[in-house]
Amino acid sequence: MSDETASPPASTPTTRRRRGGLTFLRDVVIILVIALAVSFLVKTFVVRSFYIPSASMNDTLLVNDRILVDELTPKFGEYSRGDVVVFRDPGGWLPSTPSPQRPPIVEATDWLLSLVGLSAPDSDDHLIKRVIGTPGDHVVCCNALGQTEVNRVPLVEPYVKLAPGATAPAPVPYDITVPQGSLWVLGDNRNSSKDSRYNQDQPGKGFVPIDNVVGRAFLITWPFGRFGAIDFHHEVFAGVPSPETAP
């Protein structure tokens, strides 16, 4: 008796094409899922995208500029004078405005894009300003030349937008010491910025809790003509002593 074994039927070209198409589709889905997961993790823990809703930071940042915000600083570092930071409203800084109703498909699309950092639907709920005082700093406005002083050192601020013919912003007098765990922040467009100066009557007395800070803005990504790093102008504060050594 012969010892022959039956061989499996050969697959047809149609079957091979079908299997190849399914394999390709599976690989595409896996790549998309991995890309979305990586984008979500980066957006959640590393960087976020925001747009600029107001002119309070002109000319450093313009209305509708898109920026990237470093979220690692609040987790592993400290903020320095000159840093440009994005933060949640400490309470009473932003007017209460109802959100307009949008079609469900628009809401869903915006939500999906926000997961990977391509949309920033909560930009209107946040503010962006420049750090002038860090914990312990004594900040005063203004001296005889209209300059802000930090720990008795007057600041020469090239980033401040001035009215035509003016040599200093309109003075808003204050004399404060920044408490621990807080920041004192001002807009570069001093004459059009409702910043720490204008919120001293709020419960937080104009100070921004560091816990409210989302991160440090570091890059303009849109429009392409303005693409580039955001200047923190740390050199402006180079001569400011620490609060412990201030005279």
Question: What is the SS3 assignment for 108?
Answer: helix
Active-site residue 56, yes or no? yes
Q: Rounded to 5, what percent of the chain is helix, strand, coil? A: 30, 20, 50
Active-site residue 129, yes or no? yes
Active-site residue, from 49, 123, 129, 182: 129
Active-site residue, from 49, 56, 123, 182: 56
Q: How far is CA 220 from CA 52, 195, 224, 227, 228, in A?
A: 10, 22, 8, 5, 5
Task: Give the residue from 95, 96, 79, 60 showing the smallest Cα distance to 184.
Answer: 79
β-sheet bridge partners, residue 11: none
Distance CA 89, CA 28 (A): 41
Give me the active site residues, please.
56, 129
